[in-house]
Amino acid sequence: MRLWKTPERLRRIALWMYLALPLAFAASLIARRMPWWQWDPASEWKAWTGFFLLLSALVVSALRTKAWTFFAAGAIAGAMTLSCLFYSIRQENVGLGLFAVAFGILAYAYVDRLGSAFEVPAIRPGLRWFQSVPEPIPGVTVDWGDRKDLRLSKLDLDGGFVLGAFPRGAEKNLPSEVTLHYRGSRMGAQVRILTSLPSKIDASWAGIGVEFKNTDRDTRKDLSDFIEVLRGEGHVST
């Protein structure tokens, strides 16, 4: 998909990547107790500048939803964890070893959240490699302004992906409110949601991703209940 803007969830998690700077600085403070450490301010300044630029490049690529960012972040986190473990064992530095374990746990949790942020419905329609079009959720239709009975291919509390033959550029004139309807074999449900558009229209079949902007508790509860109805009916909704 071509981006209109970065989804809020992905933007927030991408910026968390800068927390690697203070964590790496803490590791360097512990490592300075090792006998082989040689203090060279000029070299360290260059290293920290390079590390900051690397993190900035990863953050920018994440904000542009480049899938390789997930693998690059995982590789860097794994390399930092293993290097800290290696030197802690080699130099018998218990502090660095404990830091490596804690850093590894934090890095795993972060990379896992980063990966899930790349799969939000607003930018990922749920298209599998063998499919030519995304598979809609059975029984769910969407009313969006004067467009009725559109289909929905993916849905969670943060957004969804609306299928329809939207002409290129139509996203600029779409209203900010959508209504989701579900009519199943045992029950039905309906919820009205305010949206913003994180993705542009990329193809006639693809439709457009929407990010839900309701912040009030009642609307989020209504949406949560709507999703639970879908799950209760046996449909994959997330």
Which residue type occupies 154? K
Task: Tell me if 39 sits within 8 A of 91, measured CB to CB.
Answer: no
Q: Where are the alpha helices (DSSP H) in the chain?
A: 8-15, 20-31, 41-63, 68-90, 94-117, 217-232
Q: How far is CA 87 from the centre of its chain?
A: 33
Ranges 32-46, 95-109, 174-188: which has the least confidence: 32-46
My answer on whether 105 and 30 are in the same domain is yes
Task: Tell me if 106 sits within 8 A of 134, measured CB to CB.
Answer: no
Mean pLDDT throughout 38-51?
81
DSSP label at residue 1: -
Each residue's pLDDT tens digit, 117-126: 888 887 777 7
Q: Is residue 80 part of a domain?
A: yes
| Res. 237: pLDDT tops 60 | no
Q: Is residue 237 part of a domain?
A: no
My answer on whether 86 and 146 are in the same domain is no
My answer on whether 99 and 193 are in the same domain is no
My answer on whether 220 and 152 are in the same domain is yes
Q: Is residue 194 part of a domain?
A: yes
Ranges 89-98, 109-118, 123-132, 208-217: which has the least confidence: 123-132
My answer on whether 179 and 88 are in the same domain is no
Q: Is residue 187 part of a domain?
A: yes
CA distance 22 to 106: 13
Mean pLDDT throughout 59-88?
91
Each residue's pLDDT tens digit, 209-234: 888 886 678 888 888 888 888 887 77
My answer on whether 96 and 24 are in the same domain is yes
Q: Is residue 156 part of a domain?
A: yes
**Angle of CA points 65, 130, 136, to nearest 5°:** 75
Question: What is residue 195's predicted lDDT score, i.e. its pLDDT?
Answer: 74
Q: Is residue 103 part of a domain?
A: yes
My answer on whether 111 and 144 are in the same domain is no
Q: Is residue 131 part of a domain?
A: no
Task: Please report where in the chains the tokens 């502090």 appear, as a residue.
Answer: 95
**Confidence band, pLDDT 50/70/90 cuts, at residue 36:** low
Q: Which residue has the higher pLDDT, 54 or 89?
A: 54
- How many folded domains does the chain comprise? 2
Q: Is residue 79 part of a domain?
A: yes
| Res. 236: pLDDT tops 70 | no
Out of 85, 117, 149, pick the residue that ends a domain: 117
Domain that holds residue 34: 8-117
CATH number for the domain spanning 219: value is 2.40.10.220
My answer on whether 103 and 146 are in the same domain is no
Q: What percentage of residues in the chain have a pLDDT greater than 90?
A: 25
Ranges 56-60, 111-115, 131-135: which has the least confidence: 131-135
Question: What is residue 232's predicted lDDT score, i.e. its pLDDT?
Answer: 79
Q: Look at the alpha carbons of 105, 21, 6, 128 in this order and tell me if their dihedral is positive or negative.
A: negative
